[in-house]
Amino acid sequence: MRINIFGTILLFLGIMISCTSGNSKKINTEESAVNVRNKEAREDSLKYAEAESIRNSFKNKLTADYETPPVKSMEGADAADDPAIWVNPDDASQSLIIGTNKKMGLHIYDIYGNEKQFIEVGKINNAEAGYNLKYNGEKFDFIAGSNRSTHTLDVFKINKETLTLEKEALCKISSNVDDVYGFCTFYDKDKNAHYLYVNGKNGNIEQWQLMTDSTKLYGKLVRSFWVPSQPEGMVTDPVTNSLYVGVEEEAIYKFSALADADTIPTKIADSNTNNNPAISYDIEGLTIYRESDTKGFLIASIQGNFSYAIFDINEPHQYITSFTIQDGKYDGVEETDGIDMTSANLCNEFPKGIFVVQDGFNKDNGINVNQNFKIISAEKVLNFIK
Ligand code: CA
Ligand code: CA
Ligand code: CA
Ligand code: CA
Ligand code: CA
């Protein structure tokens, strides 16, 4: 009898110990992954739990339609950063999403997030697509990006037959900024000229023109200017020839994107003086959604409170509203770095295009996994505006 009771107590203790150790292991893994905050999030970003509760308080909520597989990286590393959408002019349903892996290269996905290719080409931080570059007797589309391994701006040709990127860069332009960081492309339709913009962490911005001769593609520095503190997200609007620069702790700056223009900016969406809590914490990725030449929106990812702010593309660039991406079929989105959006009719499911965002804390079935990108029908975003 005693032995039986003793045995029962031992068995009970054993179960208790195994349950406790199982639980604490799970909690520790969860906490450590959540506590490894995105290294590029601003220092005064809200703490994770606070940011999550602010995210939940926004009225406009949507859910992701698709997600990519987790990116390659050390477990829990801050590796995915900035997406680029290439709209295939021959068949929009065969468009591509390119995601930067700032530890090692570029991931290439279809519009549903299925991974098609990975090229190990260095620490590409930001990337964007360009179209119709004439070189060597042909016209091609490209993905270009800021490569922190080589301190260059790299241009990769899109092979339209195989829907892949050619791994050998067509050109690598050595930048003079302190550390190549934010990046975007610009096409000047009047001059038929292609440009690359890059910024450095100290605020320097360079504009490079893509030049060709019979033997090579190369860059020519046409303008250098600066913003007062750390920028990252940049986007250009070919309709108005404008460059928008997200200065993380301050505002969105607007410049003329033209190579011969002055470099005096106007400030829009000033997070310090607008007294708008929705944009108070770290303006990060920027993208433009154009419905027409007279109507469109500038969208910013607000990394520090897990939301996205929408502004009118027309002056004075009024703030319209914000939205967040909540748990649904896929996990919600936290601490987004880069974003990209297109208004192209890609397929029946995405007649108004897609919005693509980096997810700083990707979970699969409640378990923390490596970062990834989420894909959302643009119609869902437009619903918050009309
Ligand atoms: Ca990051
Ligand atoms: Ca981008
Ligand atoms: Ca970033
Ligand atoms: Ca997530
Ligand atoms: Ca997930």
Instruction: Say which DSSP state 347 is in.
Output: B
Distance (Å) from CA 166 to ligand 3 centroid = 24
Burial class, 267, CB count within 10 angstroms (exposed 0-12 / middle 13-18 / buried 19+) = middle
Question: Per-residue pLDDT tens for 143-198?
Answer: 999 999 999 999 999 999 999 999 999 999 999 999 999 999 999 999 999 999 99
Q: Give the whole-angstrom CA distance, residue 242 versus residue 221.
A: 18
> Comparing C-alpha atoms, which of 65, 62, 113 is closest to residue 325?
62
Task: Give residue 271's pLDDT.
Answer: 79
Q: For the chain, how many residues are written?
A: 386
Question: Per-residue pLDDT tens for 94-129?
Answer: 999 999 999 999 999 999 999 999 999 999 999 999
Q: Give the whole-angstrom CA distance, residue 355 versus residue 62.
A: 12
Q: Which residues contact 132 (CB under 8 A, 6 or more apart)?
A: 139, 140, 141
Q: Which ligand is nearest to the CA of 52?
A: 4
Q: Give the whole-angstrom CA distance, residue 60 versus residue 380.
A: 10
Is a pLDDT exceeding 60 seen at residue 65?
A: yes
Report CA dihedral (347, 350, 354, 360) to the nearest 10 degrees.
Answer: -110
**Residue type at position 114:** N
Q: Which ligand is nearest to the CA of 69?
A: 5
Is a pLDDT exceeding 90 seen at residue 273?
A: no
Distance (Å) from CA 284 to ligand 3 centroid = 7
φ, ψ of residue 370 to 5 degrees: the values are: -65, 160
Q: Give the whole-angstrom CA distance, residue 5 versus residue 178.
A: 72
Distance (Å) from CA 237 to ligand 1 centroid = 25
Question: Which residues make up the environment of ion ligand 3, defined by Cβ < 5 Å?
Answer: 40, 81, 337
- Taking a C-beta distance cutoff of 8 angstroms, is the pair 187, 210 a contact? no
Report pTM: 0.90
Distance (Å) from CA 81 to ligand 3 centroid = 5
Going edge to edge, which strands form the sheet with 115-119? 80-86, 96-101, 105-110, 115-119
> Comparing C-alpha atoms, which of 297, 343, 344 is closest to residue 321?
297
For 193, the token pair is 């000229």
Q: Which ligand is nearest to the CA of 365?
A: 5
Distance (Å) from CA 13 to ligand 2 centroid = 55
> Comparing C-alpha atoms, which of 129, 166, 169 is closest to residue 149?
169
User: 3-class SS at 136?
Assistant: coil
Question: Per-residue pLDDT tens for 7-35?
Answer: 444 444 443 433 333 333 333 344 444 54
- Taking a C-beta distance cutoff of 8 angstroms, is the pair 335, 41 a contact? yes
Report the relative pairing of strands 152-159 and 171-174 from DSSP bridges.
antiparallel
